[in-house]
Amino acid sequence: MHYLLLTSSVMALIYITAEGHIQVFQKPRFFGVKTGRTVRIYCVASNPSLPTRVEWLKARAYKGHPNPLKTDHRIIKMDKTSIRNDSITIKKVGFEDSGIYFCRLNNTLGPGTELQVSRHSDPESVLKRSRIKDLLIFLQGFLLALCAIVPVVWLYKQEKKEDAVYEEPEVDHTYEGLEIEHCGDIYEDISTLPPGPDAVWEVELPDQE
């Protein structure tokens, strides 16, 4: 009788200890899918024989505070059976489904499964966006080059205008071709003209004072 009580106490203690230190595993740990896909996240206990109470939570990041996950026609919770573990299925995922999903068994939180949803695109759309991006890069480079060249050209034209304003005047060539020898002959001819009443002017010689 004493052995029976002792055995029962040990079994109960082992059960309580195992229940208090249950380990929770999730698989997969990461999902990266396109929009419109269907994903399934599994929650597995370290001791499958123990009765468990499963809760699903969602957070924006690993360090964020997880909130209870609401199920609907897209997000379906599936309980554990003899042939499968607890899981959730998310149909037709969208951007709003991205986040960290946690399962909690008997108040023990799992490691979490990250779900990243990206936009689905076909090769033609990707090529078209790439060409548009290249065109925008070319236009930006052209505008930058234009902004750098225009001020230089403007300054060059301003300097040319200033040089034209301060340019030296052309040399006056009024007396060009008139040599000094010819000037001497003119003065001698003027001095030998005879004075007369009809003369407009006369030259006074030094000895006529």
Band of residue 203 on the pLDDT scale cut at 50, 70, 90: low
Helix (H, G, I), strand (E, B) or coil at 77: strand
pLDDT in tens, 42-66: 999 888 777 778 999 999 998 889 9
pLDDT at 18 over 60: no
Query: Considering the chain, what is the average pLDDT of its residues?
Result: 76
- Cα separation, 86 vs 108, in Å, equals 14
Compute the residue count for the chain: 209
pLDDT at 179: 54
Residue type, 138: F
Residue 122 or residue 130, greater confidence: 130
Three-state SS string across 131-143, please? HHHHHHHHHHHHH
Band of residue 67 on the pLDDT scale cut at 50, 70, 90: very high
Two tokens at 16? 């309580």
- Cα separation, 30 vs 112, in Å, equals 9
pLDDT in tens, 146-198: 898 988 888 888 887 776 666 555 555 555 555 555 555 554 555 555 555 55
Percent of the residues in the chain that have a pLDDT greater than 70, as a whole number:
65
pLDDT at 64: 87
26's enclosing H/E stretch is strand 24-27
pLDDT at 10 over 50: no
At residue 152, φ and ψ (nearest 5 deg) are: -65, -45
pLDDT at 192: 53
